[in-house]
Structure 1
C-alpha cells in the first residue's frame, strides 16, 4: 500500500476526469476524452456547470453532467469537493483537471500533496502558476476559424441582428459558445475586430450587431 493511503500499485491506471464545463467548450470533448484516456482507465468522467449554460456537454459520450445551478462559483466548488472526495476514497491515482481557471492551482497542489498525479488541461490563456501546479499540462485550443464560421452562421439567422446584450445568451444557447472560448474580452471587441463580417450600429445597450 502507498503510505498516503491512495491504494495499491494495481490502482495506478485508474483515472478521474473532472471538467469545468462553464470554462471549457463542449467542442473539445472528443479531444479531452482521448487525451485523458492515455493516462489509464477512465473510472470517473464528469463535467460540472449549470446545465442551461453548458450546451453540448450533455451529449458528450460517457460523461456525467453534474448540474450545479446558478450559484456563483458553484461549478468550481462542486468539482473541488468531488476531487477531494475521490482522493480520500482512494479510488483513483490520476486526476485530470480540465479548466483554464487559475483558481484550480490550489486544488492541483492539494491533490499532488496527497500523492496524486494531476494532469491539467486547458486553453492557452491558463495562468502559468496553474500549469506549474499540475504534474503535466496539455494546452487545448479549438480551431478559431471553425468557431468564427459557426458564430457567423448563427448571427446570419438573426435577420434584424441582435442587441449586444442578447449576443451572449443567444450564442451560448445555440452553440455552447462563451467569451471563455475566444481571445477577446468582450463580444463588442470580437465584432469590432471583424468589420468585414459584422456591422455595428447604435451605442451602449442599444448597440446592434448584424451579420453582413
Structure 2
C-alpha cells in the first residue's frame, strides 16, 4: 500500500521479539513493545510459556502466545529453538530477547556469532553475564513502587485473603514476582512492613493475609 503518495519504508531492520512469559510479567507488555519497537520493524512478536501460568499475556495486543505446556524449561527451550530457526532465515536482522534469566546468555552469544544484533531486555535482577552477552541491554524500569502496586492489585482480587503459604505461588503465577525481586527475606516481613495496606490474622501456617 501507499500512504500520502509515498511508498512505505522498507529499510528498517526486521526484528524478532521473543519473550519469556514465565519470567516477565504481562504488566510490562506495553514497555516491552515501546522499547523493542525502537530497534526496527517488529516482524515477529511471540511470548512463550504455560498458558495457564502466564496470565495476561493472552490479551497483550499483537503478541502471539506460544503455549509450551508444563515441562521443565519448556518455555526456554521453545524460545531458543524458534530463535535458532529464525536466525537461519534471511529476514530477521535483530533479536529482542526479553527475560531476566541468565541462561539466555548462551542463546544471545549464538545469535551474535551468526551476525545478528541482540538486544536484551529485562529487569534489574538479570545477571551481568546475560547482559554482557547481548549487543545492547535495556532495563525495564521496575521500581519498588511498581512492584508494590502490582502485588496489592493482585491481593485485592483475593476476596477472602490468602494463607501465607499460598502467597508465593499465587504472586509468582500471576505476576512473575518472587522474593528475589523484593528487599524482604520472606513474605511475612513484606506484609508486616505494609500494615497500612494489609491485615494479618492467625498464626504460623494459618496466618492469613488480606488486602485492606
- Structure 1-normalised TM-score? 0.83
Secondary structure of the 2:175 match is coil
Aligned residues: 200
| Aligned-partner Cα distance in 2 for 1:74–1:35 | 26
| Aligned-partner Cα distance in 1 for 2:24–2:182 | 13
| Aligned-partner Cα distance in 1 for 2:94–2:64 | 18
Report the CA distance shift for 1:79/1:11 in structure 2 as closer, same or farther (over 3 A): farther
Tell me how far 1:164 sits from its aligned partner.
Answer: 1.9
Equivalent in the alignment of 1:121:
121
Equivalent in the alignment of 1:84:
84
Tell me how far 1:37 sits from its aligned partner.
Answer: 1.0
Tell me how far 1:134 sits from its aligned partner.
Answer: 0.1
**Structure 2 segments unaligned to the other structure (5+ residues):** 1-9
Report the CA distance shift for 1:77/1:149 in structure 2 as closer, same or farther (over 3 A): same
Tell me how far 1:146 sits from its aligned partner.
Answer: 4.2
User: Retained in 2: the 8 A contact 1:20–1:48?
Assistant: yes
| Aligned-partner Cα distance in 2 for 1:48–1:170 | 19
User: Retained in 1: the 8 A contact 2:24–2:176?
Assistant: no
Tell me how far 1:177 sits from its aligned partner.
Answer: 1.4
- Structure 2-normalised TM-score? 0.83
Q: Aligned ranges for residues 1-212 of structure 1 at < 5 Å?
A: 13-156=13-156, 158=158, 160-171=160-171, 176-180=174-178, 182-184=181-183, 186-200=186-200, 201-203=202-204, 205-212=205-212
**Structure 1 segments unaligned to the other structure (5+ residues):** 1-9
